[in-house]
């Protein structure tokens, strides 16, 4: 993948223009109340920039899975209210069940420079997730310029992030997308070395392409989490009742061989925290990696492994981390994940955290502001690490 050089909101002049911005306002709601507003806050820099530049700012997003029909409990109306408070100016909510309906058109028609309108949940329309032509054209008809700032859906080709770009002359990325491209895309492509990747999580099968792609790029690949037991078993160890994917034993061996051929240091655990049941009340003991007794299961990396992994991070210049080292949701098996998070918090390296569980773990532990970049997209960040072209990124104009 060549370096990505996309036009951003800094490369365009939006004065007096209608700017449609695809945001990620997919916030958790409980009884109509927003329980975590991080995504709204994260969208503010791009929105404020466009307001300051005198654009007519039309925002759109999906929220949850209304499955192509209006579901009042998944309306974006509460987001408009909170956004208005955060911006300190009116945000007109265009309550159209068909998203681009009479209310939306009238609201856009009435806009002055610097005004903000929020459209209804794009997934009220069945065509949205199918990248249908009609809805893409309707969205495009509202604007002169399109800005994509929703990384969480960048790995999907939908009307509101990809289809719409076919019917507008100018399609650029916002600040959030730019940051994801800079770190997950370009830093991984052209890293400062040594470059260390840490992969964890439950399954080898869901990270096959990530392991394969990263082995082409990194100096050291560290493996933890449930997926390490498939490697341990493949190398002749006993894993007891640990997570094991029998179908991937050969794949694990192939990856060990590929690492050798590429001169990549592949670090696998040397010890585990074994438990007699999948529970925080389980009896536990530290065991050597390939010696997990029958009836026991490895639910976290052991202390020696945690130290080895932390040491490997210390001398790195770039670190990418995706997936927890153990069942960190249970405090008894969170130590390995904590140790890695702490090591990343304390290094001077560029630290890039893939979305999903590792991002949640880093934030929970209070290390969020110590990391260079925490991705906002779980699935999208994984596909970036697989070296895939993301449709939502590809659709933006090149510089």
**Looking at the annotation, which residues are catalytic?**
39, 203, 356, 379
DSSP bridge partners of 239 = 292
Give the nearest distance from C-beta 65 to ligand AMP in angstroms: 19
5: exposed, middle or buried (Cβ count in 10 Å: 0-12, 13-18, 19+)? exposed
Of 398, 393, 396, give the one whose Cα is nearest residue 183. Answer: 393
Give the nearest distance from C-beta 241 to ligand AMP in angstroms: 10
Binding of ligand AMP by 240 (CB under 6 A) = no
Rounded Cα–Cα distance for residues 192 and 317 (Å): 6
Chosen residue from 5, 89, 206, 250 binding ligand AMP by CB under 6 A = 206
Which residue stretch of 74-82, 118-126, 286-294, 319-327 sits at the interface with ligand AMP (rule: CB under 6 A)?
Answer: 319-327
Binding of ligand AMP by 203 (CB under 6 A) = yes
Which residue stretch of 78-86, 197-205, 262-270, 288-296 sits at the interface with ligand AMP (rule: CB under 6 A)?
Answer: 197-205
Tokens of 182: 């800079």
Binding of ligand AMP by 205 (CB under 6 A) = no
Which residue's CB comes closest to ligand AMP? Answer: 201
Size of the site for ligand AMP (CB under 6 A): 16
Binding of ligand AMP by 323 (CB under 6 A) = yes
218: exposed, middle or buried (Cβ count in 10 Å: 0-12, 13-18, 19+)? buried
Give the nearest distance from C-beta 354 to ligand AMP in angstroms: 9
Nearer Cβ to ligand AMP, position 191 or 356? 356
Q: Which residue intervals of the chain are DSSP H helices? A: 38-52, 77-87, 102-109, 133-141, 175-180, 188-189, 208-214, 228-234, 249-262, 303-314, 335-346, 357-364, 378-385, 391-394
Q: Is 218 in contact with 313 (CB distance < 8 Å)?
A: no
Chosen residue from 312, 327, 343, 380 binding ligand AMP by CB under 6 A = 327
Give the nearest distance from C-beta 29 to ligand AMP in angstroms: 23
Three-state secondary structure call for residue 98: coil
Nearer Cβ to ligand AMP, position 206 or 250? 206
Nearer Cβ to ligand AMP, position 203 or 332? 203
Tokens of 127: 């065509």
Give the nearest distance from C-beta 247 to ligand AMP in angstroms: 16
Of 352, 69, 116, give the one whose Cα is nearest residue 218. Answer: 352
Binding of ligand AMP by 326 (CB under 6 A) = yes
Radius of gyration (Cα) for the chain, nearest Å? 23
Instruction: Please give the residues from 285 up to 304 whose contact with ligand AMP meets the rule CB under 6 A.
Output: 298-299
Instruction: Please give the residues from 146 up to 175 whose contact with ligand AMP meets the rule CB under 6 A.
Output: none
Of 399, 394, 385, give the one whose Cα is nearest residue 188. Answer: 385
Binding of ligand AMP by 269 (CB under 6 A) = no
Distance set, CA 194 to CA 97, 312, 314, 316, 377 (Å): 52, 10, 10, 5, 25
Distance set, CA 219 to CA 183, 260, 261 (Å): 17, 11, 12
Binding of ligand AMP by 225 (CB under 6 A) = yes
Nearer Cβ to ligand AMP, position 149 or 300? 300
Rounded Cα–Cα distance for residues 276 and 256 (Å): 29
Give the nearest distance from C-beta 380 to ligand AMP in angstroms: 14
Q: Is 100 in contact with 141 (CB distance < 8 Å)?
A: yes
Give the nearest distance from C-beta 93 to ligand AMP in angstroms: 35
Q: Tell me the helices (H) and strands (E) count for the chain, helix number first.
A: 14, 19
Give the nearest distance from C-beta 306 to ligand AMP in angstroms: 13
Nearer Cβ to ligand AMP, position 24 or 357? 357
Chosen residue from 240, 269, 302, 324 binding ligand AMP by CB under 6 A = 324
Binding of ligand AMP by 315 (CB under 6 A) = no
Q: Give the sign of the dihedral formed by CA 293, CA 298, CA 303, CA 309.
A: positive
Binding of ligand AMP by 202 (CB under 6 A) = yes
Nearer Cβ to ligand AMP, position 143 or 380? 380
Binding of ligand AMP by 354 (CB under 6 A) = no
Which residues are near ligand AMP by CB under 6 A? 201-203, 206, 225-226, 243, 298-299, 323-324, 326-327, 329, 356-357
């Amino acid at each position: 993948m060549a370096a990505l050089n996309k036009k951003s909101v800094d490369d365009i002049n939006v004065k007096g223009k209608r700017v449609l911005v695809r945001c990620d306002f997919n916030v958790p709601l409980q009884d109509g109340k927003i329980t975590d507003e991080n995504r709204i806050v994260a969208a503010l820099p791009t929105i404020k920039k466009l307001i300051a530049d005198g654009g007519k700012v039309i925002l759109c997003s999906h929220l949850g899975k209304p499955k192509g029909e209006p579901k009042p409990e998944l309306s974006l109306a509460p987001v408009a209210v909170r956004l208005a408070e955060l911006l300190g100016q009116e945000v007109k909510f265009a309550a159209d069940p068909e998203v681009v309906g009479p209310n939306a058109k009238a609201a856009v028609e009435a806009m002055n420079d610097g005004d903000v309108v929020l459209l209804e949940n794009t997934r009220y329309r069945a065509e949205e997730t199918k990248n249908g032509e009609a809805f893409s054209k309707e969205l495009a008809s509202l604007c002169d310029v399109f800005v994509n700032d929703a990384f969480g859906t960048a790995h999907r080709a939908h009307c509101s992030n990809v289809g719409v770009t076919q019917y507008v002359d100018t399609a650029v990325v916002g600040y959030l997308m730019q940051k994801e491209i800079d770190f997950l895309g370009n830093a991984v492509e052209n890293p400062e070395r040594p470059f260390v990747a840490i992969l964890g999580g439950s399954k080898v099968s869901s990270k096959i392409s990530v392991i394969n792609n990263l082995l082409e790029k990194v100096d050291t690949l560290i493996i933890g989490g449930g997926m390490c037991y498939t490697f341990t078993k493949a190398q002749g160890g006993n894993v007891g009742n640990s997570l094991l994917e029998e179908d991937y034993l050969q794949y694990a061996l192939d990856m060990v061989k590929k690492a050798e051929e590429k001169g990549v240091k592949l670090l696998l655990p040397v010890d585990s925290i074994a438990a007699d049941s999948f529970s925080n009340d389980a009896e536990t003991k530290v065991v050597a990696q390939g010696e997990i007794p029958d009836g026991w299961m490895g639910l976290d990396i052991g202390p020696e492994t945690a130290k080895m992994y932390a040491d490997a991070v210390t001398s790195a210049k770039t670190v990418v981390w995706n997936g927890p080292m153990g069942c960190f949701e249970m405090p008894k098996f969170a130590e390995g994940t904590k140790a890695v998070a702490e090591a990343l918090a304390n290094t001077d390296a560029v630290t890039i955290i893939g979305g999903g569980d590792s991002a949640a773990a880093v934030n929970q532990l209070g290390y969020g502001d110590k990391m260079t970049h925490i991705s906002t997209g779980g699935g999208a960040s994984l596909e970036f690490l697989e070296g895939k072209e993301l449709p939502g990124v590809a659709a933006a104009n090149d510089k």
